[in-house]
Amino acid sequence: MGFNVAIDGPAGAGKSTIAKLAAKELDFIYVDTGAMYRGLAVHFLKKGIEPEETDRIAQACKEAEVTIGYENGIQQIYLNGENITGRLRDEKVGNMASKSSAIPQVREKLLELQRTLAKTKDVIMDGRDIGTCVLPDADVKVFLTASVRTRAKRRYEELVEKGIACTLNEIEKDIQERDERDSTRKIAPLKQAEDAVLIDSSEMTVNEVVKQIVALCKRD
C-alpha cells in the first residue's frame, strides 16, 4: 500500500507547483489530477463540444483514453496516445475542465486510474476533491488556499511572462466564478476535508509551503 498525500484547494492556489516540489523532496510520484481532467477537456474541444453539451461530453468520454507518462521525471499527459501536455494551460481548456469535471461520466473515466496509482505507489495527488472523494483515507491531507487577489496576481504574472494579453480584473473575475462553480457543484464539490491541514499561502513563499507539507509527511 502506498503512502498517499492529498492536496486540495481552489484554482490558482499553487497546488501543482507545491505538489511537484514536495514530491521531489519526498521521492514520491506526483499525480496532477487537474491535468487529467484538462486532458479530457482537450478531447471535448477538439470535437467542437461546448461546455453546456453534457450529453455529448458523456458520449465523447467513450472515445478518449487519458494516460500519464513521465519524461525525465516530468509528468506528461497523453490523449489517445498523443502527448498534449503543452495544451493543458490554455484558458479555454481550463474552463472546459472546470465545467465538465462535474459530469459523472467524466469523473468515472479518471477515478479508477487515480486510485490504482495510489494503491501501488507513494503519491502526492492534487486537485479539488482528492481528500474528500478520490483518496478519503490519504495519510496526509492538505487544503491549500490563498486570497482571490493573490491568486489572480500570480496567474496574471504567469500570462504576461508568456506574452499573453490579459487584465488583472478579468482574471480575478474568472477565478471568483470558478471558485463558485467548483464549490457549489453537486458532484464532489471543492471543500476542505475535516481532517485536512489548512495552509494559506498568501503571505508564504513556495519553499515555506513545501517545507510545511514535507514536515507533515515525516511527523512520525
Q: What is the pLDDT along the chain (220 residues), one digit of tens a residue?
A: 689 999 999 988 999 899 999 999 999 988 888 889 999 999 999 999 999 999 999 999 999 988 888 887 778 999 999 999 999 989 899 999 988 988 999 988 888 878 988 888 899 999 888 999 999 999 999 999 999 999 999 999 989 988 988 899 999 999 999 999 889 988 788 999 999 999 999 999 999 999 999 999 985 5
CA distance 1 to 177: 38
CA distance 14 to 6: 14
Distances in whole angstroms, Cα of residue 10 to Cα of each of 24, 59, 191: 22, 28, 9
pLDDT of residue 10: 93
> Cell for 94?
481550463
> Cell for 181?
462553480
